[in-house]
Amino acid sequence: MEHALIISKLTKRFSIQERSLIALQDIDLSVVEGEFITIIGPSGCGKSTLLRCIAGFEPPTTGFVQVEGQEVDSPGIDRMMVFQGLDQLFPWLSALENIAFALRVTRTARGAAKSRALARDYINLVGLRGYEDFYPHQLSGGMKQRVAIARALSVQPKILLMDEPFGSLDAFTRKALQEELTSIWQKTRVTVLFVTHNIEEAIVQGDRIIAMSPQPGRILSVIDNPILRPRTPDSPEFPEIWEALHRLLGIQKGPAAGVLRPPQRAFEEIETPHLVAT
């Protein structure tokens, strides 16, 4: 099978005043075309930075990212990103126009009629038939995320990069969208890298689950998910993976189990050893 993505020895440093911060260290990862990968790790471990390096928004400090054999050196429509925020749509465009606009500027479809027709197909794909003419402020949070997913997929990327796309949604909407995303992925077979803070979501969605260390982010483990789709927490193998991820990520089990909390320290990390003087 072909590799959609190869990440080799990727390290990312950021310079802040006279110091440099190591966000990612020695990341090696190969992703086969059509895989659904979930990435989980504590806040600040570099998950968004990793997606940004793949998207071409950030250059790696050392190492490289290759998509279908080509080294990534800039953003491109072969790698589309969906974010957590519910404000990623153009507020002055309807749901349909948000997608049609992306199709026009990327020249995926030529002409207004063709882009609107294709946009309609993607609206249908994400289950929003009837909401074409609604503006973002007239849509629920879950609907906005559906439009954002439809817009990203409409330009037919090779890789869909999802940075906690359901993180701002309530538990019911999150579950519905997880199922929806699985069904969309089964139809399109796009390669997905999906960042989450939620252990259940990582297990339910990921064919492979990447667990990352606290900053500087390294890959602690890559778990091959043995649970067959459709996955639920009732699957017999679920508790074992759940336990393994808790152990790897060093999470205490309790009322908030399953959700990784952000660290309580914001500036302390400036004193930690991964910050080195440049």
Task: Name the nearest CA neighbour of 32 among 206, 191, 226, 224.
Answer: 191
CB of 186 vs ligand ATP, minimal distance in Å: 27
Q: Which of residues 240-269 bind ligand ATP (CB under 6 A)?
A: 262
Task: Give the chain's end-to-end CA distance (angstroms, integer).
Answer: 42
Q: Does 202 bind ligand ATP (CB under 6 A)?
A: no
Q: Does 48 bind Mg ion (CB under 5 A)?
A: yes
For the record, the structure tokens of 184 come out as: 């969309």
Q: Does 49 bind Mg ion (CB under 5 A)?
A: no
Q: Please report how many Cα atoms fall inside a 13 Å half-sphere around the Cα of residue 99, on the Cβ side.
A: 34
Scan for tokens 């998509």, then name that residue. Answer: 67
Q: Does 165 bind ligand ATP (CB under 6 A)?
A: no
Task: Name the nearest CA neighbour of 80 among 184, 177, 156, 179.
Answer: 156
Task: Name the nearest CA neighbour of 158 among 32, 271, 15, 9.
Answer: 32
Residue 45 binds what, of Mg ion, ligand ATP, none (CB under 5 to 8 Å, by partner type)?
ligand ATP
Q: Does 45 bind ligand ATP (CB under 6 A)?
A: yes
DSSP state of 137: G
- Under rule CB under 6 A, how many of the chain's residues touch ligand ATP? 14
Query: What does R_g of the chain's alpha carbons equal in angstroms?
Result: 19
Q: Does 115 bind Mg ion (CB under 5 A)?
A: no
Give 155 or 210: the residue with its C-beta nearer to ligand ATP. Answer: 210
Sign of CA pseudo-dihedral 206, 211, 212, 218 = negative
> Of 25, 37, 47, 194, which lies in the binding site for ligand ATP, with binding defined by CB under 6 A?
47
Give 6 or 275: the residue with its C-beta nearer to ligand ATP. Answer: 275
CB of 43 vs ligand ATP, minimal distance in Å: 3
Query: 171-188 and 141-154 helices cross at what angle (nearest 10)?
Result: 20
Residue 44 binds what, of Mg ion, ligand ATP, none (CB under 5 to 8 Å, by partner type)?
ligand ATP
Residue 25 binds what, of Mg ion, ligand ATP, none (CB under 5 to 8 Å, by partner type)?
none
For the record, the structure tokens of 28 come out as: 């090696």
Q: Does 215 bind ligand ATP (CB under 6 A)?
A: yes
Residues engaged in binding ligand ATP (CB under 6 A): 14, 16, 21, 23, 41, 43-49, 215, 262
